[in-house]
Amino acid sequence: MSALRNGAMNGTNGAASAPVSKRFSDIPAAIDVPVQGEAEDEAVEIDLLELFDDPTELCTLFENERAARTYWMTVALAYAKQKKIDHAIEMLVRGGNAMRDNNPREKLSMIGCLCWMYLWKSREAPRVPPDGELASEAKTKEYYLQLATSTLNDASRINPAYPPLFLARGVLQLLRASLQTPKATGHGQVDSEKADLLRSALKAFEDAIRVSQGKNMLAVMGKARTFFSLGKYPESLASYQEVLQKMPNFVDPDPRIGIGCCFWQLGFKDDAKLAWERCIEINPEHKVGNILLGLYHLDASSRIPTNSPEFLHLYKKAMTEYTQKSFKLDKNMPLTCATFAGYFLSRKQLGTVDSLAHKAIQYTDVNAIASDGWYLLARKEHYTGDPERASDFYRRADDARGGAERGYMPAKFGAAQLAVLRGDLGEAKLRLEKMIQQSKNHEAMILLGTLYAEEVFANEDADGKEDKSAEMKKAISLLEGVRGAWKDSKKGMSPDAAVLLNLARLYEHEFPERAQQCLLQVEALELDQIPEEERPTGIEDEAENRAALRKFLPPQLLNNIGCFYSQSEKHEQASEMFEAALGACMKIGEKDQEIDTDALVTTISFNLGRSYESQSIYDKATEVYEGLLKRHDDYTDARTRLAYIKLRRNPNKEGPDAVAKLYQENPQDLEVRALYGWYMGKVHSRKRPHNINEDHEFRHYKHTLQNYDKHDRYALVGMGNLYLIQAREMRRESDSDKAKRSATYSKAVEFFEKALSLDPKNAYAAQGIAIALVEDKKDYKTALGIFVKIRDTIKDAHVYVNLGHIYAELRQYSKAIENYEVALSKEGKGNDPVILACLGRTWLNKGRSEKLLDAYHEALKYAQKALEAAPEQVHYKFNVAFVQIQMATTVYALNENQRTLVQLQEAATGLESAISALDEIASHPQTPYPKHDVEQRANMARNTQRKQLERAIASQKEYEEKNKEKLQAALEQRQAELRKREEERQQALDKQREKQEKIRREREEIAARDREIAERRAEEEKARQEAEMTTDSETGDKVKRKKKAAPRGDGESRPKRGSRKKKATETDGEDSGEERPTKKKRRLTKKESTVNSKYKSAEIIVDSDDEDEDEDPLDRAERALEKASSPLSDAEEKGGDDEDKMEVDNNRDADEEDDEDGGISRRQQSSRSRRGRVIESDEDEDEDEAPKKNGAGADSDDEADKTQPAADTSMADADDDDEE
């Protein structure tokens, strides 16, 4: 071992060598036992290093020679030193019997030693009887504890106040408490029986400490161990640190082990590691220190992905460097056996697992380790397929930690897994729900969420009608809870692809966007797991690199992502995913040619073709479908899509022929029949017979339902739509006609309801019912609810058109216009004359309702656009003329001060155009309205409205000429008001900007000033430190200059401290007897008081707000304490300059306890004394540090309904209203 390490001497506290164990150090190598003989000084020498394997001869010798007590005990301890405890016990028993006639107090120490030997044997004895041995004959831990109890009672009868008995009684109670089986009490609570034993042990240790005047460090160690068992880790840590502080060379038992365990329980795992490393640095053969460091590295590796190099490094270090060494030191150590058993279980070396787990169970005196042993056995049986034994072992593992509400979560989880394997899902759910209620265990949440999800999936696969919405909500809630926990870095959880895939499937129907997000997250996980050596090189573009990496992903995942992209109409991205999925299939085929990827390639290729179709890339789509048919000529779906493409591209010859041929070859295929029915509807849409039974499309659907599948949903919806069309065209003059019409609507609804009963989410059937409600019952509100629901399912423009119709009927014109505009924005509908005409009509009704000329202009604009889109349609020309006439009528009806000459002239021009258009329409062979009505409207416009506008124009000219000056003045006044208002607003903005700029400058100045002050103070402190440093004559290191305290006269009394210092001094009275200050030098003694619950790495804690970055906090705190020990005179208090000031937080309530752990550093015991001023006020600091809290208001998301006054919907009806 090197003499120096990191510039400091090796050993403890600068000692020349590491401390060594003093156990059995007083046992000599040999002893001389006097014997009776001729010579008076005749003696027999006994070599204590090579003792007899059988102590009978020595016992006989000592009995014959009536050897003194010391000889019996020395030889017994020599046997104990060689780990021959049974021989030591025999020596002590026979020695006690040989001294039976002596004074009982003479053999008291032997009885006490015998008690310790029994306690030693208890630690090494098995916990439960070994297999094949009778329980009455087995020498278990309980057996030796009973012997120890009996021996201790014998000693207590001789002298109950014998000091060593207190320590033995405490250890005995500790061991008894460790064997107590945990009860099913609240989580984190100690059983009442165990707590009573521990309190008895604590009292015994405190008695031992009391009689030794605080010098019995073993008793303090026992006290610390008792606190640890009670769960009082701060108090336990303080006791262990007390031992280490008072006896730094105490290494057997090593208090550093206890310190590390306390730090671990308090959450300071790195500090625990430092304590254990120091333990094995002192004693590399320390078996407990090695296994604890192994567990530290195992714990660290559990928070790192298993495929990372760091995980392999930590795991290898834990098992080979520490655990294996501990196992070599003691092959029966329970904790090491349990740890190694877990390792061998992962390697599937089940025979080794069995032996090690049984060792852990037999030899441990810690219930948790026994629980681990049973759990390992349970996992072994679980893996080998013996559920009965596995269930029994899981139960024992759970009971060893308390069972019921306490217990061992992994064992409970294993029992739940066994219930799933048995198919007892009810029991599994019950167990998992209890686990989640107790601890929010994420593994339990995953399994329970998966079970609920599987119920939902099974119901879907079986086409069951059972309502599983509750199970779906539970599954989503549980799995989303786990997903949310991944975001918390403190929990160290890694995302699980299985959770995301289940969530994606649960979200698939209701929330496809969320499902797609889950799949994209799975893709990111899969991309991260691609090994570095397989990643492509030389690709700088991120998109290209990602596309290349996708070839290593599962093609099913990419295909599903592409399907969601298609569903959300992102067809270009969908194509990219499908192409990547095909590349992944090729990659799989290259790696393993035995894997059949044909089914995957076929499905993905078909999806790719559909994606090309949606983008109108028909050439590529045709190429894909033809490629599929070359490999599978019976692939009907591909042939169906090819026929549809031909029909779209060549609707006259090639397309119809392809559809007819497809139908002839596959008349039984329902998809083909659906396409053929759709085709027939398009062909015969303009020439439908009056009798619906003669309709070709109707007969086709009827034939499908009667001969192929009576539950074909497409045929049912198709027949419902045909009944709607027939009802819409039926006469409604008489009550009989209306009844027949209503009956036809009812037939349509019957078909739609049948389709909905087969598929409750069939949006087209729901839409048909909504249309029937509007047209037959005028039930707009119910229909509106249906259309709103199907809006997100059916992406077609006609849904928004229907919504626009309903809103128009409800006279909510703004919403109607909004929906029409959405319909107009859909692909291929930008110039649709029907939607344009609907927009024109709605704007017209809005203008009539609200008397807005702008609305009339919008109506005219859309009417003209509709006419431009379909100039051959006469009714669109009539709509333009109608809007122009309505605009002329509205402008004429306005008062002179509400209209302008320009508006009247525009209306007159439009009226002339309308008259010409009506004349053309009247002469057309197919007029939209009766020819007489059109001519009459044209004559009225020519004879009446033209003259009215002429008079209105003349009157408006005269009005505007007469009021020209007033109008100009009013206009100028209005403009002046607007300018003034704008100037005021600008001035307010300028003032606000100036104020903000001023605040910003002030803040910058304050910050700069604070930085300058901080830098100046740092320089002053640095200069002061340098001035205080001097060179040590022995080491050559820089050390602080020691100053003598100011001399006092003989009669001069020591000045009194302030009230705060006086109070602090009074709390230090516990150790005042250990270290008395001399008259010339004041020494700061260690303070001991209530154990603090906070533990920090530094021995002295200084307020972070008061320390400079360039100065060591320990030096600053030490100097502050030196100043406190040398109070100032009144003159110095008043006249001290800034250079001698240092702010130290003296808030005793907050900081006094922080200095108690481990005591104040030995640096404080120096004789240095410096005068200075200590600022004791905490109030100023509190004011500076008080955080400013700004309240935040909540934004309101409520939107007001923008309802408008109602009006009629059709242009023709609007004219009828005028005539009335």
Tens digit of pLDDT for each residue in 543-566? 888 888 888 899 999 999 999 999
593-597, 622-626, 1049-1053, range with the lowest pLDDT:
1049-1053
Inside any domain, residue 388? no
Average pLDDT over residues 1086-1095: 39
Helix (H, G, I), strand (E, B) or coil at 302: coil
One domain, residues 452 and 511: yes
Question: Within a domain: residue 474?
Answer: yes
119, 171 Cβ separation under 8 angstroms = yes
Residues 522 and 568 in one domain: no
For residue 107, give both structure tokens: 């053999």
Same domain, 511 and 548: no
For residue 434, is pLDDT > 60? yes
| Cα(945)–Cα(935) distance, integer angstroms | 14
Q: What is the pLDDT of residue 1030?
A: 65
Cβ contact 1113:1107 at 8 Å = yes
The mean per-residue pLDDT over the stretch 1086-1102 comes to 37
Name the domain count of the chain. Answer: 4
Closest by CA to 1044, choosing from 1169, 1162, 1172, is 1169
997 within some domain: yes
| pLDDT classification of 489: cutoffs 50, 70, 90 | confident
CA–CA distance, 118 with 172 (Å, rounded to integer): 10
**Top mean-pLDDT range of 16-20, 448-452, 1211-1215:** 448-452
**Between these two residues, 1098 and 229, which has the higher pLDDT value?**
229
Residues 202, 190: contact at Cβ < 8 Å? no
Of 186, 208, 206, nearest in space to 198 by CA: 206
Amino acid at position 270, single letter: D
pLDDT at 405: 75
Are both 481 and 449 inside the same structural domain? yes
Q: How confident is the model at residue 1053 (pLDDT cuts 50, 70, 90)?
A: very low
d(CA 795, CA 764): 11
The pLDDT confidence band at residue 18, using thresholds 50, 70 and 90, is: low
DSSP at 90: H
Domain of residue 986 covers 963-1014
Report pLDDT for 555: 93
| In the predicted structure, residue 380 carries a pLDDT above the cut 90 | yes
| Structure confidence at residue 1064 as a pLDDT band (50, 70, 90) | very low
What's the longest Cα–Cα distance across the chain? 168
At residue 184 the predicted structure's pLDDT band, cuts being 50, 70 and 90, is low
Residue 40: what pLDDT? 65
Query: Can you read off the two tokens belonging to residue 114?
Result: 């015998």
pLDDT (average), residues 613-638:
92
User: Band of the pLDDT at 1193, cuts 50, 70, 90?
Assistant: very low
pLDDT tier at 89, thresholds 50, 70, 90: very high
Same domain for 547 and 520:
no
Closest to 483 (Cα-Cα) out of 509, 522, 454: 522
CA angle 283, 286, 291 (to 5 degrees): 135
CB atoms within 10 A of CB 815: 20
Write out the E strands in 469-572. Answer: none
Backbone angles phi, psi at 574, to 5 degrees: -65, -40
1101 pLDDT exceeds 70? no
Highest-scoring range by mean pLDDT, 138-142, 644-648, 1028-1032, 1111-1115:
644-648
Q: pLDDT tier at 293 (50, 70, 90 boundaries)?
A: very high
Query: 316-374: per-residue pLDDT in tens?
Result: 999 999 999 999 999 989 999 999 999 999 988 988 999 999 999 988 888 899 999 99
pLDDT of residue 127: 81
- Among candidates 496, 382, 517, 399, which has minimal Cα distance to 447? 496
Kindly state the average pLDDT of the residues 428-443. Answer: 89
| For residue 226, pLDDT beyond 70 | yes
Q: Where are the alpha helices (DSSP H) in 364-468?
A: 367-384, 387-400, 409-422, 425-439, 442-461
In 468-508, where does DSSP find H-type helix? Answer: 469-485, 497-507
Tell the burial category of 31 from Cβ atoms under 10 Å away from its Cβ (0-12, 13-18, 19+): middle
> What pLDDT band is residue 1196 in, cutting at 50, 70 and 90?
very low
Tell me, yes or no, whether 547 and 511 share the same domain.
Answer: no
| Structure confidence by residue, pLDDT tens digits, 691-704 | 888 888 999 999 99
pLDDT band at residue 1038 under the 50/70/90 scheme: low
Structure tokens given for 784: 């509106």
Residue type at 816? A
Sort strands 1141-1143 and 1038-1040 into parallel, antiparallel or unpaired: unpaired
In a domain, 1197, yes or no: no
Model pLDDT, residue 1037: 55
| pLDDT for position 739 | 92
The residue whose two tokens read 């024992």 is 396
Q: Do 502 and 570 fall into the same domain?
A: no
Please determine, for residue 267, whether its predicted confidence score (pLDDT) is greater than 60.
yes
The pLDDT of 892-913, averaged and rounded, is 87
The yes-or-no verdict on residue 932 having pLDDT over 90 is no
pLDDT of residue 132: 67
Angle, helices 833-850/813-825, rounded to nearest 10 degrees: 160
Give pLDDT, residue 138: 81
d(CA 90, CA 59): 9
- The residue written with tokens 């040590």 in the block is 1032
Q: Which two tokens stand for residue 330?
A: 């003691």
Q: pLDDT band at residue 766, thresholds of 50, 70 and 90?
A: very high
Neighbours of 150 (CB within 10 A): 12
E strands along 225-321, which residues?
none
CB 816 within 8 A of CB 804: yes
* Tokens 């022995």 sit on residue: 1034
Query: Would you say residue 1120 lies in a domain?
Result: yes
562 and 611 in a common domain: yes
Helix or strand or coil: residue 84?
coil
Strand partners, 1174: 1142
CA distance 102 to 543: 96
Domain co-membership, 1156 together with 1122:
yes
Asked if residue 953 is part of any domain, the answer here is: no
| 630-652: pLDDT as tens digits | 999 889 999 999 999 998 888 88
Instruction: Identify whether residues 506 and 563 lie together within a single domain.
Output: no
Q: CB of 928 within 8 A of CB of 917?
A: no
Evaluate whether residue 612 is within a structural domain. yes
Mean pLDDT of 764-771: 94
pLDDT of residue 640: 93
Look at residue 1174 and tell me whether its pLDDT is greater than 70: no
Specify whether 558 is located in the same domain as 592: yes
For residue 568, is it within any domain? yes
Q: Is the pLDDT of residue 1214 over 80?
A: no
**724-735 pLDDT per residue, tens:** 999 988 888 888
d(CA 109, CA 115): 10
Give the residue from 241, 297, 310, 233 showing the smallest Cα distance to 269.
297
Report the percent of the chain where pLDDT is more than 70. 81
pTM: 0.65
Q: What is the average pLDDT value for the chain, to the nearest integer?
A: 81
What is the β-pairing status of strands 1029-1031 and 1038-1040? antiparallel
Mean pLDDT of 204-229: 93
Q: Is the pLDDT of residue 1091 over 70?
A: no
Residue type present at position 1120: A
**Alpha-carbon gap, residue 394 to 141, rounded angstroms:** 24
**Do residues 847 and 862 lie in contact, with contact meaning Cβ atoms separated by under 8 Å?**
no
Lowest average pLDDT, out of 17-31, 1042-1056, 1166-1180, goes to 1166-1180
What confidence score (pLDDT) does residue 187 get?
53
* Amino acid identity, position 1083: R
DSSP 142-202: HHHHHHHHHHHHHHHHH-TT-HHHHHHHHHHHHHHHHTSPPPS-STTPPPHHHHHHHHHHH
**Rounded to a whole number, what is the distance in angstroms from the first to the last CA of the chain?**
116
User: Which phi and psi angles does 664 have, rounded to 5°?
Assistant: -65, -35
pLDDT interval class at 964 (50, 70, 90): confident
pLDDT exceeds 50 at position 1054? no
Once rounded to an integer, what is the mean pLDDT over residues 120-136? 80
Return the pLDDT at 1076: 42
The domain boundary residue, chosen from 999, 1014, 1029: 1014
pLDDT band at 105 (very low <50, low <70, confident <90, very high): confident
Clarify whether residues 507 and 548 are in a common domain. Answer: no
- CA-CA distance, 689 to 974, in Å (whole number)? 66
The whole-number pLDDT of residue 186 equals: 52
Identify the bridge partners of residue 9 per DSSP, sorted by sequence position. Answer: 4
Degrees to nearest 5, angle at CA 165 with 164 and 170: 105
Which two structure tokens, joined as six digits, stand for 875? 């009714």
Q: What is the pLDDT of residues 998-1027, one digit of tens each?
A: 999 999 999 999 989 988 888 888 888 777
Give tens-digit pLDDT for 834-874.
999 999 999 999 998 988 888 999 999 999 999 999 888 88
Contact 1175, 1138 (CB under 8 A): no
Nearest CA-CA partner of 1122 in 1043, 1015, 1199: 1043
Under DSSP, the state recorded for 8 is: E
